[in-house]
Structure 1
Amino acid sequence: MQKTITALTIQKKNPNRVNIFLDGEFSFGLYLINAGHLKVGQTISKETIDSLMKDDQIEDGFQKALKFISYKPRTKFEVVKKLRENDFDEGSISIVMEMLIEKGYVNDSHYAKNWVENRSIYKPRSKKLITWELKNKQISEEIISEVTGDMIPEEKLAMLAAEKYARRLSGIEKEVFFRRLSGYLIRRGFSYSIVNVTVQKIWNNLRQQTHENSNGK
């Protein structure tokens, strides 16, 4: 059954969408990109309406995904999860993800690489913990293996993490220092052997600095 477009009006709350009136009554809304070819007086079939609404759902999913990733980079898994939470069907989600990946807006390889670099520099932790974090974000084993292959050695990462945390522990007894710093490094995923060596090095360095400062006075 054919229906006639009797009015096309821009939505007040969202100027990127158009209200479609069929046979004198409001029928549905579309994004401008999907409504651009429609004209008042044009007749459209139910099949055309269904197709327009399907395309509009895909565009709606795409726009919501763009907004979601605008705040910070996201993984494919995170975007899919967000779209499902917004009740988009699997077919639309699949098409939206293809669009996002094709345009480079979602790239798990780049995400994982940046994650490793930022973690290593600003929040040092073990390769084991970083690997777990990436797996938790559903990054593929292949990508994880690729981005963690050239990581800073564990011993150096442990030292970086320990040096930052040790600044909070100045002036406390050795036993307390060892316990707190060891616990911190273990929570960052480092092995006991690396933790023991690292904590001892940090303690020795601090003692040496204290000694040098005392002699310099």
Structure 2
Amino acid sequence: MEREITSIKVQKHNQQRVSIYLDGEYAFGLSRFVAAWLSPGQKLTSADIDRLLEEDSYEIAFQKALAFINHRPRSVEETRLRLQEKGFSDALVEVTLQRLIEKNWLNDLDFARQWIENRNAFRPRSKRLLAYELRLKGIADNTITQALENYAGDEDRMAFKAGLKKAQQCRQETKPDFSKKVGGYLSRRGFHHTTVRNAIDRLWEAVALPESERCDEME
């Protein structure tokens, strides 16, 4: 049985969606994109309605995903979990993810490289910890390896950079206390103990106050 579209109205609380009226009664809502080819007077079969509602579900999922990834870069797995949390079916989620990947709006390699660059710029840490963080984001090991190929700088340089602020905070400490505090800080950022020892020596030489000055300030 066919039903006639008697009215199409833009929804008050969401200008991107419209309400579809069939035979004078409200029937369902659709995104404006899905409803673009509809017009009053048009007849719809039950199959037409089912197809429209299915297309609308895909469009809703797609727009939810876009809003999520536009806030900041996301991995494929993060986006998958977000859509699942919103109640979308697994099949619908996978279709949406594939659509985003095909448009290159989701790209785990790009995400991993951006993550590493951001960490290096603001919160330096070891390759080992970077890899661990990326695994938590659902990034595959081979993608992590590829992203770390362009890792800016060696571990010694990054350990020095990572520990500089902490070392400046501890510049009045004795060498043993300085080593303990700065070393613990660097170890928590995943640096190997040999790298930590080397960084401590360099940082001590770079920022520690001469003993006479430390004593003067402590008096």
Report the TM-score, using the length of structure 1 for normalisation.
Answer: 0.92
Structure 1 gaps of 5+ residues are none
CA distance in 2: counterparts of 1:15 and 1:205, whole angstroms: 60
Q: Secondary structure at the match of 2:92?
A: helix
Letter aligned with residue 157 of structure 1: M
Letter aligned with residue 20 of structure 2: I
Aligned to 2:129: 129
Deviations 1:26-51 (A, max 9, x none): 11100111111112121111111111
| Matching of residue 44 in structure 1 with residue 49 in structure 2 | no
Letter aligned with residue 90 of structure 1: D
Deviations 1:91-126 (A, max 9, x none): 221221122112222111111111112212321100
Aligned to 2:188: 187
Deviations 1:72-109 (A, max 9, x none): 11111111111111111122212211221122221111
| Matching of residue 32 in structure 1 with residue 43 in structure 2 | no
| Matching of residue 6 in structure 1 with residue 9 in structure 2 | no
Aligned to 1:73: 73
Aligned to 2:163: 162
CA distance in 2: counterparts of 1:30 and 1:206, whole angstroms: 63
CA distance in 2: counterparts of 1:122 and 1:39, whole angstroms: 54
Aligned to 2:199: 198
Structure 2 gaps of 5+ residues are 214-219
CA distance in 1: counterparts of 2:39 and 2:122, whole angstroms: 56
CA distance in 1: counterparts of 2:183 and 2:176, whole angstroms: 11
Q: Secondary structure at the match of 1:196?
A: helix
Q: Secondary structure at the match of 1:125?
A: coil
CA distance in 1: counterparts of 2:206 and 2:70, whole angstroms: 44
Aligned to 2:21: 21
Q: Secondary structure at the match of 1:36?
A: helix
| 1:161 CA drift (Å) | 0.8
Alignment map for 1:92-131 (pairs within 5 Å) = 92-131=92-131
Q: Secondary structure at the match of 2:33?
A: helix
CA distance in 2: counterparts of 1:203 and 1:195, whole angstroms: 12
Deviations 1:189-217 (A, max 9, x none): 0111111221122113334x748x9xxxx
| 1:167 CA drift (Å) | 1.6
Report the TM-score, using the length of structure 2 for normalisation.
Answer: 0.91
Q: Secondary structure at the match of 1:138?
A: coil
**After TM superposition, where is structure 1 displaced by more than 3 Å over at least 4 residues in a row?**
none
Aligned-residue sequence identity (percent) comes to 36
| 1:57 CA drift (Å) | 0.7
Letter aligned with residue 166 of structure 1: A
CA distance in 2: counterparts of 1:165 and 1:56, whole angstroms: 53
Q: Secondary structure at the match of 2:26?
A: strand
RMSD over aligned CA atoms reads: 1.7
CA distance in 1: counterparts of 2:5 and 2:55, whole angstroms: 18
Letter aligned with residue 171 of structure 2: S
Instruction: Please identify, of 74-83 and 88-97, the stretch whose mean Cα deviation from structure 2 is larger.
Output: 88-97
Instruction: Please identify, of 165-174 and 137-146, the stretch whose mean Cα deviation from structure 2 is larger.
Output: 165-174
CA distance in 2: counterparts of 1:40 and 1:118, whole angstroms: 52
Letter aligned with residue 194 of structure 1: T
Instruction: Please identify, of 121-130 and 172-181, the stretch whose mean Cα deviation from structure 2 is larger.
Output: 172-181
